[in-house]
Amino acid sequence: MSHHVVIIGGGFGGLAAARALRRKDGIRVTLIDRENYHLFQPLLYQVASGGLSPANIAYPLRTIFKKHKNVSVLLGEVVDIDLDSRCVILANGAGAGGAGGEESDGDSSENRVPYDSLILAAGAVNHYFGNEAWEKVAPGLKTIEDAKAIRRRIFLSFERAERENDEARRSALCTFVVVGAGATGVELAGAIREIAVHTLREEFRRIQPDNARVLLVEHADRVLPPYDAKLSGCAEKSLRKMGVEVWTGAKVTALHDDRVEIEKDGKRECIETENVLWAAGIAASPLAGMLAGKTGTKLARGGRFPVESDLTIPGHPEVFAIGDMTHLMRENDKLVPGVAPAAMQQGEFAAKVIEARVREREAPARFKYIDRGSMATIGRAAAVAEIGKLRFDGYPAWLAWLFLHVMMLVTFQNRILVLVQWAWNYLSWSRSARLITRDGRPGAE
Amino acid sequence: MSHHVVIIGGGFGGLAAARALRRKDGIRVTLIDRENYHLFQPLLYQVASGGLSPANIAYPLRTIFKKHKNVSVLLGEVVDIDLDSRCVILANGAGAGGAGGEESDGDSSENRVPYDSLILAAGAVNHYFGNEAWEKVAPGLKTIEDAKAIRRRIFLSFERAERENDEARRSALCTFVVVGAGATGVELAGAIREIAVHTLREEFRRIQPDNARVLLVEHADRVLPPYDAKLSGCAEKSLRKMGVEVWTGAKVTALHDDRVEIEKDGKRECIETENVLWAAGIAASPLAGMLAGKTGTKLARGGRFPVESDLTIPGHPEVFAIGDMTHLMRENDKLVPGVAPAAMQQGEFAAKVIEARVREREAPARFKYIDRGSMATIGRAAAVAEIGKLRFDGYPAWLAWLFLHVMMLVTFQNRILVLVQWAWNYLSWSRSARLITRDGRPGAE
């Protein structure tokens, strides 16, 4: 009987683990995800800003593993994990993510998935620091659905402004507040200004889209806080040049349907807007909390689960947790960052340990994160990058960013299509994927 | 003061009218649509079957007219037309198509749009022949949202089957019933078999997708009833070769969540399935009915408005109605068909009449439909075409279909991207746009 590895989550970490275990004799893998696709999250802001279609950055998990007969893919939502009997319990029906009536399937489905080894790679969700009601007003950007909601909001605002006679309301409709100046916030703010200044140029008859106001609000004293201070300065300069108002040392204190209150330098400002986008924080998947309850572990900041140095959970060497849902200190007393390369390295590490155990070889004892650098893009042909000791910005950083992200896209097809789309966008300033589609249409299934 | 032409609907008819009036001195145009894009409906089945992304077949209306300063685009839903004071009345707020809270905008929006000439081109909606409750069970295929709902249904069914232990339920999940064997029904049925046999090949571990049963149910005695009988025969043969069960002379008598009842040759059959797709009929937009009430006109079959031979409505020479919402006999006592070329010719005709009146020249008195032929595709490299006296099928017809549809796509960009996508799909049998996304996600706006 082969060793059965169950992987929860088809993000960067889970995918890397499954790939490392494909074609391995004596091991079979079941990859469970709530979605039927792997999402290339670093480009999600491109969908939110109408530059790419969802299918350009999402690829069916089944297709990735079709040739690897020892890998099965299951569409399902994990509701419980029985650590003692080594079983993952799924919600009834496939695709339980909330689509309503279709999910109540009776109990004939295969709901218990037993495992020999388990890799938890469930990722992170948007986090509102105790103000969860803000989610409705200020959508975050973690899923395809989030991206489409933001896209709808941005483009619908300009449409509504075009029909609005009241000047104050018109300017409120053309005001966008992005909360959080990490990579996602910086990318979003830059993209919205590009839409306003270039994409929508000449398209409206009553409003001037390039008058749109874009505020980037950041609690820390500079944008891109995890980066080198000099690069933060470059990024801020690029943002200002594009017309983004950068408010550092500022904090959102209240969020309403039609306005946001911001505290800056001890003063309260009230901005009238219906367009607040949330890029201020993420927290670990709720599975981290469930695991903590079962193992009597105290969660770390952001609800992250503190794993052992070999990525296992206390008392269960057969259970690994990796990626954004975990908390792990490096030898230099810095955290392993919540980025795709870290999750991928962890997935590969867990796979290596499991294979070593199955082969009864010595397993590596300690996960070591190799920092290959990080980069963020600010807009057309502007970016910042840190690679080893190297710090650079502007066009070279943007080219590096572009090259790296296109290369990382999973499939040949997506690479080519995304390149064609980008080449076109770059030459024409257009964003053709800016459909205002309706989620939650009445009468839809 | 320039002559103001208001066009309701940015489909093929409305778009053709607006294009014919762009850059015309002394005329300004306002194009009103509920969506911010023109939808290339003939390829909607490609979105429903995961071959293309929505943005590949939808193009922002504003972009189409950005260079034509005499054309304005308004996103809005028409709720009334005041024929006496010559005013179109819009619902409050832009994008009133049903997205909930955002729409109640107060009344400061520009809700009354006065016109000198009006062109109604509101198209058609799905029609269930008095069984409107069936819409929930059997989605039609008229909008992007419809296409995504069908895509979700098809791919989710296979996922659920993979998790299902009960054999009867598993085979119900892998049974698809397409109602109506017009062009849309034939295309959908063919596409589903292709998905089952080729696209999903090797991707599942427990089920055999190529065992999926696809039934095409048609009330008439042959598929593609408007076509030449010989071509119908070719199409049916192609469908059967692909593994589609063709049931002609058959009628749906009841539709439930988990089964459909079909009457054929006096016998009642009950098919267990949760996948019924509706391609059996469309009816005119409700605006046709509103117009009928205001003018005391009796609607024709399918709720279509019977227009005068110059496409105007009785008693109002300044109001034109065109395309799928209208009913018009040709000189040969045949109907002008509800196809894109007819709507486009009508839009151009209405524009010509309006311009002639503005210039005080003689206007053409009677619309004449020029039938340039029709074609339908059945699957990979199979189609039927009628062009003049010419009838052909198979690969040449498919090439003609492909060429014509790519050429008809509005913009340069979409043509190239769609070609690349299709070339890839053709070579690889893949369908990468098969995301199971969630409409109606709880917590979405």
The answer to whether A100 faces chain B, any CB pair under 8 Å, is yes
Give me the half-sphere count of Cα atoms (radius 13 Å) on the Cβ side of residue B337. Answer: 12
Lowest pLDDT segment from B2-11, B116-125, B419-428: B419-428
Mean of the pLDDT values across residues A152-172?
93
Q: Do A200 and B136 touch (CB under 8 A)?
A: no
**Residue B310 belongs to a domain with what CATH number?**
3.50.50.60
Specify if A430 maps to a domain. Answer: no
- How far the first Cα of chain A sits from its last, in Å, is 42
Distance CA A187, CA A277 (A): 12
List the alpha helices (DSSP H) in A359-411: 394-408
Are both B308 and B399 inside the same structural domain? no
For the stretch A321-358, pLDDT in tens is 999 999 999 988 889 999 999 999 999 999 999 999 99
Sign of CA dihedral A333, A339, A344, A350: positive
* pLDDT, greater one: A15 or A110: A15
**Residue B406 belongs to a domain with what CATH number?**
3.50.50.100
CA distances to A137, A166, A188, A196, A273 from A176, rounded to whole Å, are: 13, 18, 10, 11, 7
Distance of CA B128 to the CA centre of its chain: 15
Specify if A255 maps to a domain. Answer: yes
Are both B25 and B110 inside the same structural domain? yes
Are both A214 and A346 inside the same structural domain? no
Question: Which pLDDT score, from 0 to 100, does residue B105 have?
Answer: 41
The answer to whether A424 faces chain B, any CB pair under 8 Å, is yes
Are both B169 and B144 inside the same structural domain? yes
Question: Which pLDDT score, from 0 to 100, does residue B441 have?
Answer: 36
Q: Do B413 and A424 touch (CB under 8 A)?
A: yes
Lowest pLDDT segment from A94-103, A131-140, B121-130, B146-155: A94-103
Identify the helix (H) or strand (E) that includes residue A156: helix A144-163
Choose one of A216, A246, A279: the last residue of a domain: A279
Tell me the shortest Cα–Cα distance from A371 to chain B, in angstroms.
32
Of B55, B156, B201, the CB nearest to A95: B156
Identify the helix (H) or strand (E) that includes residue B1: none
Question: Which pLDDT score, from 0 to 100, does residue B236 have?
Answer: 95
Which residues, in sequence order, are CB contacts of B25 under 8 Å at separation 6+?
A: none
Q: Is B301 exposed, middle or buried (0-12, 13-18, 19+ CB in 10 A)?
A: exposed
Domain count, chain B: 2
From the candidates B156, B207, B277, which should be mutated to test the interface with A, based on the most A CB atoms within 10 A?
A: B156
Are both B304 and B412 inside the same structural domain? no
Are both B262 and B392 inside the same structural domain? yes
> Binning pLDDT at 50, 70 and 90, where does residue A141 land?
very high
The answer to whether B363 faces chain A, any CB pair under 8 Å, is no
Choose one of A224, A250, A279: the last residue of a domain: A279
Question: Which pLDDT score, from 0 to 100, does residue A107 have?
Answer: 44
Tell me the shortest Cα–Cα distance from A200 to chain B, in angstroms.
8
Closest CA to B302 of B278, B277, B328: B328
> Binning pLDDT at 50, 70 and 90, where does residue A395 land?
confident
Domain range spanning residue B163?
134-280+374-428
The answer to whether B103 faces chain A, any CB pair under 8 Å, is no
Distance CA B224, CA A207 (A): 48
Tell me the shortest Cα–Cα distance from A164 to chain B, in angstroms.
5
pLDDT higher than threshold 70 for residue A96: no
Closest A-chain CA to B104: A160
Distance CA A41, CA A431 (A): 19
The answer to whether A169 faces chain B, any CB pair under 8 Å, is yes
Specify if A150 maps to a domain. Answer: yes
Identify the helix (H) or strand (E) that includes residue B326: strand B326-327
The answer to whether B132 faces chain A, any CB pair under 8 Å, is no
Mean of the pLDDT values across residues A17-35?
96
Specify if B156 maps to a domain. Answer: yes
Chain B residues lying within 8 Å of A166, measured CB to CB: 108
Q: Do B94 and A69 touch (CB under 8 A)?
A: no
Specify if A436 maps to a domain. Answer: no
Lowest pLDDT segment from B97-111, B208-222, B308-322: B97-111
Question: Which pLDDT score, from 0 to 100, does residue B413 have?
Answer: 59
Of A416, A434, A439, the CB nearest to B444: A439
Q: Do A149 and B434 touch (CB under 8 A)?
A: no
Mean of the pLDDT values across residues B49-72?
91
Token pair in block for residue B35? 């969506």
Q: Across-strand partners of A216?
A: A178, A246
pLDDT higher than threshold 70 for residue A103: no
Are both B331 and B286 inside the same structural domain? yes
CA distances to A161, A206, B68, B109, B360 from B30, rounded to whole Å, are: 16, 13, 11, 16, 22
For the stretch A278-305, pLDDT in tens is 999 899 999 999 999 999 999 999 999 9
To which residue do tokens 């796979």 refer?
A351
Tell me what percent of chain A is helix, strand and coil, each rounded to the nearest 5: 35, 25, 40
Specify if A170 maps to a domain. Answer: yes
CB A384 within 8 Å of CB A378: yes
Average pLDDT, chain A: 89
The answer to whether A203 faces chain B, any CB pair under 8 Å, is yes
From the candidates B22, B154, B436, which should be mutated to test the interface with A, based on the most A CB atoms within 10 A?
A: B436
Question: Which pLDDT score, from 0 to 100, does residue B415 have?
Answer: 66
Choose one of B298, B327, B358: the last residue of a domain: B358
- Of A77, A187, A218, A355, the catalytic one is A187
For B299, the 3-state DSSP assignment is coil
The answer to whether A258 faces chain B, any CB pair under 8 Å, is no
Question: Which pLDDT score, from 0 to 100, does residue A413 have?
Answer: 59
Check if A187 is active-site: yes
Closest A-chain CA to B158: A94
Identify the helix (H) or strand (E) that includes residue B155: helix B144-163
Specify if B45 maps to a domain. Answer: no
Phi, psi at B178, each rounded to 5°: -105, 120
Are both A7 and A119 inside the same structural domain? yes
Mean of the pLDDT values across residues B126-149?
91
Per-range mean pLDDT, top range of A167-171, A393-397, B93-97, B383-387: A167-171
Q: Across-strand partners of B276?
A: B177
Give me the half-sphere count of Cα atoms (radius 13 Å) on the Cβ side of residue A134. Answer: 23
Are both A108 and A234 inside the same structural domain? no
pLDDT higher than threshold 60 for residue B279: yes
Are both B95 and B183 inside the same structural domain? no
* pLDDT, greater one: B444 or A90: A90
Question: Which pLDDT score, from 0 to 100, does residue A374 have?
Answer: 86
Q: Is B239 exposed, middle or buried (0-12, 13-18, 19+ CB in 10 A)?
A: buried
pLDDT higher than threshold 50 for residue A95: no
Closest B-chain CA to A47: B55
Predicted TM-score (pTM) of the model is 0.88
Specify if B378 maps to a domain. Answer: yes
Are both B196 and B223 inside the same structural domain? yes
Report ipTM (2 d.p.): 0.85
Tell me the shortest Cα–Cα distance from A18 to chain B, in angstroms.
15
Are both A87 and A15 inside the same structural domain? yes
